[in-house]
Structure 1
Amino acid sequence: MVLAPHPNPDATVLSHFDLTGKTALVTGGCRGIGLEVARGLCEAGAQVAITYTSTPPADADAIAARLSSANGGRTVKAYKCNVRSRADVEATVEAAAREVGGGGRLDVLVANAGIAENVAALDYPEDRFRAMFDVNVNGAFWAAQAAARVFERQMKADGDSGKPHRASIIFTASVSATLVNIPQKQAAYNASKAALVHLGKSLAVEWVDFARVNMISPGFIETEMLDVHPTEWRSQWNEMVPGRRFCKPAELKGAYVFLASDASSYMTGADLIIDGGYTLP
């Protein structure tokens, strides 16, 4: 097993982050963190596919069009995809590689789609507990598995050229994989994100020949997911963060570009925690 080396480590540092000519797919890319990730990858030069589930199709297409227009007409395409369905995910990944990548190329997969809810463990209904894992763990794995099949296929096709294949998979995890949040009760969410982190570490070892696999674990991010919580919870969380503020979604996009690019060529199996110091005390 050989981790692909940086193609030119002596090049100027900003060139290490360049994604020109790369194709990326971001699940849950029409809002929140996923939208800013898609924006960042596109700004760095990548062609980007974004998936959505509940966003109206016309709105998703409009989001893709705006991202494209803001980046010189670079290809951005939206796909409706139910990440709970392995078949749907596989079909979407193949379509994105074919239609966005051109000729079936894919270089970056960001498994970002996820759900969260606050339910006391004693009261957790079976169907909702299973649904949490079905999206946050199973859905992420289906996306990674489908992308890995494309990556392995590309590695074999590139084999005769002697060119190492430098694909990247990034899971959006959470600080909840590391600590237990309070005062809310969210055992299922915490456990799903912890599982996702260890899944990523395991895949990083298993797939080292054709892909790097890393995780990003955000803290409190100012998205719709955070807005639904009571004001008193938000005030308590703010006091618990040494940085004394929440994070803007756009503040995360640079980290995803880093992990998607050759700038992180020797980084795999890592969980990058971005939380304003929340996990430190």
Structure 2
Amino acid sequence: MSEEIKSYCNEELGPLPTKTPELPKNVMDMFSLKGKVASVSGSSAGIGYAVAEAFAQAGANICLWYNSHPADDKAEYLSKTYGIKSKAYKCNISDPEDVEKVIKQQEEDFGTIDVFVANAGVAWTEGPEINVKGYDSWNNIINTDLNGVYYCAHNIGPIFKKNGKGSFIITSSMSGSIVNIPQLQAAYNAAKAACTHLTKSLAVEWAPFARVNSVSPGYISTDISEFVEKAMKAKWWQLTPLGREADPRELVATYLLLASDASTYTTGANLAVDGGYTIV
């Protein structure tokens, strides 16, 4: 790296990391999140809640996010069951001012944020794009699945920079790498492709102080896919080498890896957890 680039990075982002971090000698300890604070958007159910509970099991204090489905009871459950601190926050992820307010409140309540999972998202249910009337459906997908991720990044980045460390994990999708069939969901695919590339772009920008990675789930058995007819799901299973949808808990180890000190040399990665769908 040239001295000019180093000088620019030092000026704009802070000194480049040059030392290997001190790591636990036991590999199991590398996966511990004890004493860390993790914030997981879209965590009142589905993938988000499964990840939040896994992080609590690993010792992290948890900030849950919800919009239409309150999660205060789940925060209380996590606290009592795993002996950690947890609190739920209502937020409209597509409102940048609301996102900024919630992240500031979380930092105030917990003292810091070490891990952030930008997970909130919605599915495309409109079918072929050409048949859609107006632009509301497109805007809803982009505002929630892409802009919401950016709003979270924009507000957590300065906290990570101030602390000199952090792990930002984006829930993308295999739909950001391939085009699913037989369902037609151009808007969703476009949003998730942008999330995957945003991951790589932020990984470069934030390298001096934080790691940025994404997880690309395949077909997961959650409420977000309840609208899909059984015939469509049968086609999914046929095209997935493992022949089924996943339980959300089958994703959580990947998030734990990226959140923990077990992945201190991993940034800009997009890890597919899709039953093999994208390899064929």
- TM-score of the aligned structures, taking structure 1 as reference length: 0.91
Which residue of structure 2 aligns with residue 204 of structure 1? 203
Aligned residues: 264
Which residue of structure 2 aligns with residue 149 of structure 1? 158
Deviates more, 1:119-128 or 1:16-25: 119-128
Q: Give the deviation of 1:275 after TM superposition.
A: 0.6
Q: Give the deviation of 1:154 after TM superposition.
A: 2.2
CA distance in 2 between counterparts of 1:276 and 1:270 reads 18
CA distance in 2 between counterparts of 1:30 and 1:107 reads 20
CA distance in 2 between counterparts of 1:227 and 1:87 reads 31
Are residue 12 (structure 1) and residue 26 (structure 2) matched?
yes
Which residue of structure 2 aligns with residue 85 of structure 1? 95
CA distance in 1 between counterparts of 2:240 and 2:19 reads 37
* Paired AA for residue 87 in structure 2: K
* Paired AA for residue 142 in structure 2: F
Are residue 122 (structure 1) and residue 133 (structure 2) matched?
no
Q: 1:209 to 1:168 in 2, by over 3 A?
A: same
RMSD: 1.3
The Cα offsets for residues 50-104 of structure 1, whole Å up to 9 and x where unpaired, read as 110110x3xx1101111111102x10100000111111101111111111x23xx
User: Which runs of 5 or more structure 1 residues have no equivalent in the other structure?
Assistant: 156-164
CA distance in 1 between counterparts of 2:128 and 2:52 reads 34
Q: Give the deviation of 1:183 after TM superposition.
A: 1.0
Q: Give the deviation of 1:145 after TM superposition.
A: 1.2
CA distance in 1 between counterparts of 2:36 and 2:21 reads 14
Which residue of structure 1 aligns with residue 8 of structure 2? none
CA distance in 1 between counterparts of 2:117 and 2:239 reads 29
Which residue of structure 1 aligns with residue 7 of structure 2? none
3-state DSSP of counterpart to 2:82: coil
CA distance in 2 between counterparts of 1:75 and 1:219 reads 31
The Cα offsets for residues 21-52 of structure 1, whole Å up to 9 and x where unpaired, read as 11010000110000001001111111010110
Q: Give the deviation of 1:246 after TM superposition.
A: 1.2
User: Which runs of 5 or more structure 2 residues have no equivalent in the other structure?
Assistant: 1-14
Which residue of structure 2 aligns with residue 274 of structure 1? 273
Are residue 231 (structure 1) and residue 239 (structure 2) matched?
no
Say which structure, 1 or 2, has more relative contact order (CA 8 Å, 6+ apart). Answer: 1
CA distance in 1 between counterparts of 2:152 and 2:77 reads 25
CA distance in 1 between counterparts of 2:35 and 2:124 reads 38
Structure 1 segments, 4+ long, off by >6 Å, are: none
Q: 1:248 to 1:227 in 2, by over 3 A?
A: same
Q: Give the deviation of 1:243 after TM superposition.
A: 0.6
Are residue 61 (structure 1) and residue 60 (structure 2) matched?
no
Q: 1:280 to 1:88 in 2, by over 3 A?
A: same
Which residue of structure 1 aligns with residue 219 of structure 2? 220
Q: Give the deviation of 1:251 after TM superposition.
A: 1.1
Q: 1:247 to 1:197 in 2, by over 3 A?
A: same
Q: 1:148 to 1:128 in 2, by over 3 A?
A: same
* Paired AA for residue 96 in structure 2: R
Q: Give the deviation of 1:5 after TM superposition.
A: 5.3
Q: Percent identity?
A: 42
Which residue of structure 2 aligns with residue 34 of structure 1? 48
Q: Give the deviation of 1:223 after TM superposition.
A: 0.2
Residues 47, 76 of structure 1: 8 Å contact kept: yes
* Paired AA for residue 123 in structure 1: N
CA distance in 2 between counterparts of 1:2 and 1:9 reads 19
Residues 200, 269 of structure 2: 8 Å contact kept: yes
Which residue of structure 1 aligns with residue 143 of structure 2? 134
Which residue of structure 1 aligns with residue 114 of structure 2? 107
Residues 41, 118 of structure 2: 8 Å contact kept: yes
* Paired AA for residue 136 in structure 1: D
Which residue of structure 2 aligns with residue 161 of structure 1? none
CA distance in 1 between counterparts of 2:180 and 2:203 reads 27
CA distance in 1 between counterparts of 2:276 and 2:87 reads 36
Q: Give the deviation of 1:129 after TM superposition.
A: 0.4
